[in-house]
Amino acid sequence: MNMDIAVIRGDGIGPEIVNEAIKVLDAVCEKYGHSINYEHILMGGCSIDATGEPLTDDAVKIAKSKDAVLLGSIGGNTQTSPWYKLPPNLRPEAGLLKIRKELGLFANLRPAYLYPELKDACPLKEEVASKGFDMMMMRELTGGLYFGERYTKEIDGVLTAVDTLTYSENEIRRIAIKGFDIAMKRRKKVTLVDKANVLDSSRLWRKVVDEVAKDYPEVEYGVMLVDNCAMQLVKDPAQFDVVLTENMFGDILSDEASMITGSIGMLPSASLNETKFGLYEPSGGSAPDIAGKNIANPLATILSAAMMLRYTFDLDKEADAIEKAVKTVLEEGYRTIDIAKPGEPQVKCDEMGSLVAQRV
């Protein structure tokens, strides 16, 4: 197969971790007889420096012409970077919001899996971690508070900020169908997370998802309030399979889920539209404090590349090979600094990428 993807190395550790994912993808191509054309585009702080914009229309046009996008990370230190002295619509993260909207990436998938080899890195109690967990955080990505009308102005002499939370039943229905379809390929369980005891938007979510659930009688379906879910993720994460939720709740809960795996550097993600097109990125940020030190964990980006092969190109065998290679490397005791126990030997970012590539 010939694959055509856009690559956004981005800021901070982004270039380092993307390089290792490309190294692994090239190893897959060599073994299985595929080819990949990589076209690099700018987004985030590097784009601001080069063009004055976090994401240009030309970059969006290129991304739309590809089969998929592989993204590293964007942004910098919000306290010291000059990027954060710019208006909000010109900051690095505005590029991420723009590309999600322009490409119609409404479904964000973040698998959270505790590797048995990393059980000691899990911050949960041993009796909880020993049960393991394997969940898919399913977050709606193009609606809600992050895309609603917002403003700050003086009202009756008092500075007042307003953020608008809006969802339509169509937006909810399409992500719910995606969630149940994915559950059918997993353990056939969906948990809707909302705040239906307070929010009208959550009550609409519950109404629409209840309707969708009737079309999937084989799937066990339940609902949970977001505050309870936050507690249950650290009390008993093994109970979850597919966690379906709206944009802001998903943003927060998926980061919580990432940390109980031992490191956010282990979590891949996929953002999909209504076709096979997807944007694939690690769940972590740009980590500017360690950028350029060759100590970042590239495994989340490598696993994101595996998700790309699986969801966009239907290359399940090749995706399995990457995931198995990551597991093998961990079983052999190789660790980057973020997942290493005190006194345990550590490998650099590029070394970890090479180890995985060799075992594909």
C-alpha 297/C-alpha 58 separation (Å) is: 31
Tell me which of 215, 227, 236, 320 is the catalytic residue.
Answer: 227
pLDDT over 80 (residue 263): no
Residue-number span of the structural domain to which 351 is assigned: 1-106+261-360
227 as an active site residue: the answer is yes
Instruction: Clarify whether 146 is annotated catalytic.
Output: yes
Mean pLDDT for all residues in the chain: 94
pLDDT interval class at 135 (50, 70, 90): very high
Residues 84-120: pLDDT tens digits?
Answer: 999 989 999 999 989 988 999 999 999 999 988 888 8
Q: pTM (2 decimals)?
A: 0.85
- Summarised one tens digit per residue, pLDDT across range 183-212 is 998 999 999 999 999 999 999 999 999 999
Do both 13 and 102 map to the same domain?
yes
Do the Cβ atoms of 223 and 236 come closer than 8 Å? no
pLDDT given at position 90: 94
Angle between helices 247-259 and 226-235 (to 10 degrees): 10
Q: Regarding predicted confidence, which is higher, 117 or 352?
A: 352
Q: Is the same domain home to 223 and 347? A: no
Strand 2-10, strand 189-194: pairing? unpaired
Tokens 């709606």 -> residue: 140
Rounded distance between C-alpha atoms, residue 17 and residue 22, angstroms: 9
Nearest-angstrom CA–CA distance, 180 and 189: 8
Cα–Cα distance, 43 to 50 (Å, whole number): 10
CA dihedral 168, 174, 180, 185 (to 10 degrees): -160
Q: Are residues 72 and 148 in the same domain?
A: no
Q: Is there a single domain that holds both residue 22 and residue 86?
A: yes
The single residue of 26, 38, 134, 255 carrying the catalytic annotation is 255
Task: Based on the fold, state whether residues 14 and 98 are members of the same structural domain.
Answer: yes
Identify the active-site residue in 11, 23, 67, 146. 146
CA distances from 288 to 11, 14, 334, 337 (A): 8, 9, 24, 16
316 is catalytic: no
198 class by beta-carbon count within 10 Å (0-12 exposed, 13-18 middle, 19+ buried): exposed
Residue 344 lies in a domain: yes
Burial of 88 (0-12, 13-18, 19+ CB in 10 A): exposed
pLDDT at 119 (0 to 100): 83
Residue of 221 and 79 predicted with greater confidence: 221
The CATH number that applies at residue 66 is 3.40.718.10
As a dihedral over the C-alpha atoms of residue 282, residue 288, residue 292, residue 293, rounded to 10 degrees, the angle is -90
Average of pLDDT values for 344-356?
A: 95
State the pLDDT at residue 265.
76
| pLDDT, position 305 | 97
